Structure 1
Amino acid sequence: MIRIIQYGIAITLGFAYLTIDVNSQLVNSFCLILILLFGIPHGAVDHRIHLSTSKDTSVLKYILRYVLIAAGYILWWLLDPTKALFIFILLSAYHFGQELLEDNKIKNSDVWMRMIWGLMILVAPMIYHIESISGYLNVVTQGELPDFGFWRYIVPSAIILFAIGSILLFKRRGIEKKSIHQLSAFLGFIIIIHVLLPFVLAFTLYFVLFHSLNAFKHQYKWLKSKKSNYDISRFAGDLVGFSLLAILGILSLLWFLKPESQTTLITYFFILISLITLPHAITLDQFYRFRSQPRLSGGLK
């Protein structure tokens, strides 16, 4: 049922974009608001996830480590933005691929499998849309982007073929047919939305409707399994505090930076998102690995 709702909303919004003449700046603003309201909160319970999968019992210690990792990453952005961008893209790809396979009940997947699906979700579309998103990337790289030429079609096609190959391998490994069918449907969905829609909108539909909502589902089920009286209202309450703090922090920094154009605004926005993506991805990697262990231990702190 949840998948039907996810695809239904994505198809409805995509169809609305294709049939209604909407200003691109308005669409981009809508996407940023969606990411702020639904994307940011999916990392707001990282502290609870960490405490339920670790012997560490100190929330303050975890938050301090979280902040220090983010601070270290922003220093990297300042010193070498091109390499920081490259790491952010690869990290995000791994994180997206891992979440996707976990959501389809493919446990203990190989690292290269996670990367293939992450590259299919993020990197293949970026290369395919390289001309339209070059303005964002040039803000970071200062015009040092390679000229992909015809490779902008070859590389995404090769990544998609690797993803199809992994589906065939999953089938040989005896993965449930339901998971195979869901992965195949998702592959087709990602290809279609990136062929028909601009990158920012297509990415937002994926990030909000699939990645973030799936993460909410995984986190809530896990936390509820660790404490019987944990319900949806408590989960929502846990999301609010750190979500508001992160949103206010991002908006304050954007106001301070005063981007001169929407292109610069969107670039700065995703750089700021990257600062919390790194510690979040580390936490979720720990969570998925712990959850896949035969014997589960630890309780909700």
Structure 2
Amino acid sequence: MNVIENIGKITAVVLAILYILVFNESQTFQWIVFSVVLLSIGIPHGALDHLLPEGGNKTKKLSIFILKYLGIIGAYLILWMILPAFSLAIFLLISAYHFGQGHFIHLKIVKYKQLTYFIVGCNFLAIILFSDYIATATILESIIDITPFIDYGSITMISLFVSSLIVVSIQNLNKIHLLLAEIIVLSFLLYLLPVLMAFILYFGFWHALPSMMAEFDSLTANIQYGKIKKFIVQLAPFSIISFIGIGIILFLANSYLNEEQMILLFFILVSLISAPHIWVMNNFLEKRES
């Protein structure tokens, strides 16, 4: 499955270069790429959470699992309503760790594992948010004013970039020079892209696709024939439910919110789904590693 992941990453690089050289400032190109990647990889990669916990596909345990899942979503929604800035901070912090963990999905990190996940994830997340600072500030303005921190954007990105190279370089990994080169090139590309384009290319091809391939390997390990068909059947129900749910909410909100507020609402919806997903995936990846 590394072949599929490599093809995905090459596709992302090509799309990034196309945007920079040909479609620069094109909102249409950004939204097409964003929508296609989100619907084909982004949302579906989290639609198998109910099958990943041990025994999660048994009816009794599945019902308990879904209740826990919905409970986390409900609690986080209430937190968003009461303390939006705090909820945003939580989302960014757990997303950074989750992204970093997913970045090493095929590698065994031994030294300072949690710190490595967090710093590498923070590096990419900071570049995505700070490189297009004005757009990020506009999206977040209804929750928090980040414009006073604009002078700290560059030093934050540089510090996290250097730190990520350090924590990775001390690991005892095969072909570590290739991993370091990938971090450098990817960081540079993300820096050149607007926030939506940078987010969806990183999220789709460096996080969601590798995660989906790991899920595929786990859930089809004992299937001899028709693995792909079986896998699609497994991820379809909750993918469709997510598409419909998010679509309805955004459609109803479209009459009341401007584009930046719609983007913020979308990411809040993603954060609600992500909270239990990150819990499930952490357990799955930790057990897979042991």
Indicate whether the TM-score tops 0.5. yes
2:156 aligns to what? 155
What does 1:264-275 align with in structure 2 at a 5 Å threshold? 264-275=261-272
Distance in 2 (alpha carbons) for counterparts of 1:286 and 1:216: 15
| Paired position in structure 2 for 1:85 | 88
SS of structure 2 residue aligned to 1:201: helix
SS in 2 for 1:103: coil
Q: Which amino acid aligns with 1:161?
A: V
Name 2:188's counterpart in structure 1: 192
* Mapping 1:1-301, distance limit 5 Å: 1-21=3-23, 24-33=26-35, 34-51=37-54, 58-106=61-109, 110-141=113-144, 144-145=145-146, 147-170=148-171, 174-177=172-175, 180-225=176-221, 231-258=227-254, 259-293=256-290
Distance 2:114 2:90 in 1: 16
**Once structures 1 and 2 are overlaid, which stretch shifts more, 10-19 or 48-57?**
48-57
Q: Residue 285 of structure 1 aligns to which amino acid in structure 2? A: N
Shift, 1:52, TM fit: 5.0
- Greater CA drift, 59-68 or 127-136: 127-136
CA distance 1:162–1:108, shift in 2 (3 Å): closer
* In 2: Cα distance, 1:182 partner to 1:49 partner: 31
Structure 1 CA distance, aligned partners of 2:267 and 2:33? 12
Please give the secondary structure, in 2, of the residue aligned with 1:150: helix
Alpha-carbon contact 1:101-1:109 (below 8 Å) kept: no
Aligned residues of 1:93 and 1:118 also touching (Cα < 8 A): yes
8 Å contact from structure 1 (residues 96, 118) kept in 2? yes
Aligned to 1:51, the other structure's residue is in SS state coil
Helix, strand or coil at the partner of 1:225: coil
| Counterpart amino acid of residue 245 in structure 2 | G
Superposition deviation, residue 21 in structure 1: 4.1
Q: Which deviates the most, 276-285 or 46-55?
A: 46-55
Q: For residues 54 and 231 of structure 1, do their structure 2 counterparts lie closer, same or farther at Cα, with a shift above 3 Å needed?
A: closer
Tell me the SS of whatever aligns to 2:146. coil
Q: Which runs of 5+ in 1 are unaligned?
A: 294-301
Instruction: Give the letter aligned to residue 200 of structure 2.
Output: T
1:54-110 Cα distance to aligned partner (Å, 9 max, x none): 999611111121111111111111111100000000011110101111233436862
Determine if contact 2:48/2:234 at 8 Å carries over to the other structure: yes
Would the aligned equivalents of 1:69 and 1:279 in 2 still touch at CA under 8 Å?
yes
The letter of the residue matching 1:165 is: I
Query: How many aligned residue pairs are there?
Result: 286
The Cα of 1:7 is off from its aligned counterpart by 3.0
Question: Take 2:170 and 2:123, find their aligned partners in 1: how far apart are those partners?
Answer: 16
Tell whether the 8 Å contact from 1:136 to 1:266 is kept in structure 2 after alignment: yes
Change (3 A) 1:36 1:251: same
Letter in 2 for 1:264: Q
Give the superposition deviation at 1:250.
0.4
Is the 2:5–2:210 Cα contact (8 Å) retained in structure 1?
A: no
Taking the aligned partners of 1:165 and 1:282, their CA distance within structure 2 comes to 27
Report SS of the residue matched to 2:220.
helix
Which range moved further: 256-265 or 93-102?
256-265
CA positional deviation for 1:203: 1.3
User: Does the aligned pair in 1 maintain the 2:133–2:150 contact within 8 Å?
Assistant: no
1:43/1:108 Cα in 2 relative to 1: closer, same or farther (>3 Å)?
A: farther
The percent identity for this pair of structures is 28
Q: Which amino acid aligns with 2:269?
A: L
For residue 208 of structure 2, what is the amino acid of its counterpart?
S
Structure with the larger RCO, 1 or 2 (CA within 8 Å, 6+ apart): 1
Q: Distance in 2 between matches of 1:55 and 1:254?
A: 33
**2 CA distance for matches of 1:108 and 1:236?**
37
Q: CA deviation at 1:20?
A: 2.6
Deviation at 1:161, TM superposition (A): 0.8
My pick for the range that moved more, 4-13 or 221-230, is: 221-230
